[in-house]
Each structure stands twice: as structure tokens, then as C-alpha cells.
Amino acid sequence: MRYARAAALAVLLFICVSCLFAELFAPAGYATQYRDSPDLAPSHRFILGTDELGRDRFSRLLYGGRVSLILAPTASVISVLLAALIGGVSGYVGGWLEKSAMTLTDLFLSLPWLFLLIAVRAVMPLNTSAEVSMLITFSILGILGWAATARVLASAARDLRRSDFVLQAEAAGMRGWRLFVIQVLPNMKPILLAQFWVSIPIFIIAEANLGLLGLGVNEPMPSLGGLLRELENFSALSVEPWRFAPLILLVVVVSAFQIVLPEKENA
């Protein structure tokens, strides 16, 4: 398993470096349309061919990967912070605050998030550039994705509140926020980290879902979800298997995160 983790980490690093430095590796811009070369098969010039508008698929894959790989962790940070604030604090304080917070969490968990995302996207300002729309999409994912993590953190905070060392600290006169920040929060760090890592692939997949519905990142900016839409026409797939490239990248990235995760969880 150690070797598998190392291999997964290496793959993840390779993909991250390739995507984060897309400008260096991509032969063309993600929006450049070679209108005289639409729908081409892979060639020396276009490694993964071109899409219907003559855009280089390989370049779009790198840029799309970058969008997901930068913004999914960002969404994850947002959701974990919110979860820590809502779940962690309420679990630690307990009483009516915990009950209210858990009711809110249950409400959020029972919401059909996909429809909620669609509704939130529908009221977004219209004149947002592709870059801003990309930020908004992932921020929404982060803001809406805190509930499950909050439950885990509330439960952890509740256990910590009843733990011996917290009782000891209380007996020594430590109270309130000081007790939370010095005694409880450091002990929640492994759970926060694990939740952060667990959430990244979830947000990558969530964006892919939105992208498949055409509601992800706006054109011409690519994202893994947007690129997956080329798989919609499955009768084309047997003759153009290179269309699977974004799916393969998605599966590899998500799997790599899953394999890498236990090591972090144990940290």
C-alpha cells in the first residue's frame, strides 16, 4: 500500500505540475479556435485532436485540469472552514447552539444540492468573466458543501469537550475561546486535514456534474466537467476514443486523491 501511495502521489504531482504550468506545456491557448481544423483526430500538431470549434483538446485538458486542481482545494478550504465554524464550535459549546447548528446541518444535508446549485447559478450576475464565473462556481460548491463535514467536526468537538485533558484544563481555570483555541482546535487538526483531502475529489466530481449539465465554468474557459460533455454522444466514442481523455484524467485524479488520503488521515 505504501508503494501505491507513493505512485499515486507521484501521478498526482505530475498531473498538478503539468496543469498548473499549462502555459509551458500547452501548445495553444484554451480559447484559440483553429476554425480551419475542426474535429481533427490526434496528430503531431494536435496531440488529442481538436474539438468542433477547432480548439486543441490537449491544451484545453491541461487548462481544464488546472481549473479543477486549483479550485477544488479552494472550495474544500471554504467548506472545511465553514464546517469548523458551524460544526466544531457548536459541538464544543453544546446545548441549544449545537441543537440549532445540527438542525441547520440536517436541513442542508436534505437539500437537493444539484438543484440548489442550479438555482444559485441562475441568480448570479450576468456579466461575469469566465474567470470570475469559475471562482463563483467553486465558491458556491464550497459554501454549499460544508454540512457533512460539520457533522463529523461537531461529533469530534463534543468528544473533545468531554475528554480528560479538557476537563483538566478547565480545572486549571482555562475557559471559553482560549480553551477552544489552545486545547480543542489542535486536537481537531487531523480531522480537519482528513476532511480537507476527502472533500477535494468530491468537489472535482461536483464540478464535473455541473459541467456535464452545461452549468459549470463558463465558455470559453475549460474545466474537467465541461470537457466531459464530449462524451455525451456515445455513438462517437468507439470511433473517437481520444474523447475519453478528460474522463481518464478525472478518474486518475480522483483515484490518486483517494489512495493518498489514508496517509494524511493517519498524520
Partner 1 sequence: MKRTSFILLFILALQALASAELRFVIHGEPRTFTPYLVGDENSETVRYLTGGVLIRMNRQTQQLEPGLATSWKVAKMGTAITFTLRSGLKFSDGTPFTADDVVYTFQQMMAPTVHSSIADAFRSGPGQVIAKAGSPTSVTITFPAPISGVERIFDQVAIMSAKSPLKEKAVLGPFVVAEYKPGDHITFNANPNYWKKDEKGNKLPYLQTVRLDIQSNRDIELLRFQKGEIQLINGLDTENFDRLQKIMPQAVKDVGPSLDAEEFWFNEVQRSPIPAYKITWFRSVNFRRAVAHGINRDDIARLVFGGHAQAAAGSVSPANKFWFNAKLKPYAYDLKTSMNFLKKDGFHRDGNSLKDKDGHAVEFSIIVPAGNKAREREAALIQQDLAQLGMKVNIVPLDFPSLIERITQSFNYEGCILGLQNFDPDPNDQMNVWLSSSENHQWDPSQKTPATFWEAEMDKLMRQQATTQDNNKRKVAYDRVQQIVWDQAPFIYLVNKDALVAIAPNVHDANPAVLRPQTYWNIDRMTMTGR
Nearest distance in Å: CB 109, partner 1: 23
Considering only residues 84 through 103, tell me which ones interact with partner 1, judged by CB under 8 A: none
C-beta closer to partner 1: residue 43 or 129 = 129
Residues 173-232 that bind partner 1 (CB under 8 A): 213-215, 218-220, 229, 232
Give 159 or 219: the residue with its C-beta nearer to partner 1. Answer: 219
How many angstroms separate the CA atoms of 78 and 85, rounded? Answer: 11
DSSP 180-227: IIIIIHHHHHHHHHHHHHHHHHHHHHHHHHHHHTT-SSPTTS--HHHH
Strand partners, 50: 56
Q: Smallest distance from the beta carbon of 57 to partner 1, in angstroms?
A: 15
Q: Please tell me the count of residues contacting partner 1 according to CB under 8 A.
A: 29
Are the beta carbons of 211 and 223 closer than 8 angstroms? Answer: yes
**Which of 77, 97, 104, 130 contacts partner 1 by CB under 8 A?**
130
Q: Vertex 126, ends 20 and 62: CA angle to 5°? A: 15
The CB-of-196 to partner 1 minimum distance in angstroms stands at 30
| 36 vs 185: CA distance, rounded Å | 58
Which residue reads 455513438 in cell numbers? 235
| Residue selected from 1, 2, 239, 266 as contacting partner 1 according to rule CB under 8 A | 239
Binding site for partner 1 (CB under 8 A): 31, 33, 35, 38, 52-54, 118, 121-122, 126-130, 133, 213-215, 218-220, 229, 232-236, 239
